[in-house]
Amino acid sequence: MKKIDIRAKTLGLNRSSYLLFLATSVEGILGSQDKVNKESAAVVDALSKISSLGK
């Protein structure tokens, strides 16, 4: 916790604000990754359908 407090202080935040910032950042990253995974799956599905048309 000491390192967290030091990092928070360097950013001008208290511990709870810093932890909330981290949680929000992680949530945003995971949400973005989920969107990328869904879009990637759609592209793979489309390519699969296109390749099956050529058979």
Q: Residue 35: what pLDDT?
A: 74
Query: What's the chain look like in SS3?
Result: CHHHHHHHHHCCCCHHHHHHHHHHHHHHHHHHHHHHHHHHHHHHHHHHHHHHHCC
pLDDT at 20: 87
- The predicted-structure confidence for 1-55, as pLDDT tens digits, reads as follows 789 889 889 999 998 888 988 888 887 777 777 777 777 788 878 877 776 775 5
pLDDT of residue 54: 59
Q: pTM, whole model, 2 decimals?
A: 0.53
